[in-house]
Amino acid sequence: TLVLLVVIVALRSSPYVSAWDEENSTFYNSATQALKMSGLHLTAPTALIFWEMEHEDSPAAIRAFDNSPGNLRIYGVHLSKGYSAADMRKAWLKFAPRRASLVIDRSQMLETSFKVRSLPMVFIVLPKQKKIFSFLGNINDSKQRMLDIIASE
């Protein structure tokens, strides 16, 4: 009976089991330095959504920011090589909130600095608190926690 229960729960669960993790200060310093080198200077809470056009869970991660607070800056960081900038922009515009911007990480500097393990992966950067929170996978079940993190700035 216990085995059957575990199997049922596993089948109904998201393929990712994750939570919002607070990164350490060394991570914050190296990650924000990489953002500056990419031309992104943080003055407000910022969401970085690491995604790829061909990844099936990327649209849901991007759409999770549709009704996010107005002070949140949103950047989609595309990782794939082999696509034209125009194709990536077109795919981004299908899913992205209106005030979101696309960053194409061809050099993989942001991917490496943020230690992206899998996709989609989301980071919330809080520059006043000098904190970064990360989330791997389907963000919809933890959207309220994300909103609380953003509001704390």
Q: What is the mean pLDDT of the chain?
A: 86
Q: Is the dihedral of CA 105, 99, 127, 153 positive or negative?
A: negative
Question: What tens digit of pLDDT does each residue of 73-84 get?
Answer: 999 999 877 889
Q: Give the integer Cα–Cα distance in Å for 33 and 38.
A: 9
Confidence of residue 56 (pLDDT cuts 50, 70, 90): confident
For tokens 């849901």, the residue is 60
Predicted TM-score (pTM) of this structure:
0.85
Sequence-distant (6+) residues with CB within 8 A of 19 are: 135, 142, 145
> How big is the CA angle at 52 (ends 47 and 57), to the nearest 5 degrees?
80
Model pLDDT, residue 11: 39
Per-residue CA distances from 59 to 27, 66, 92, 139 (Å): 27, 11, 9, 11
Instruction: Determine the Cα–Cα distance for residues 96 and 73; give it in Å rounded to an integer.
Output: 12
Two tokens, residue 104: 């194409």
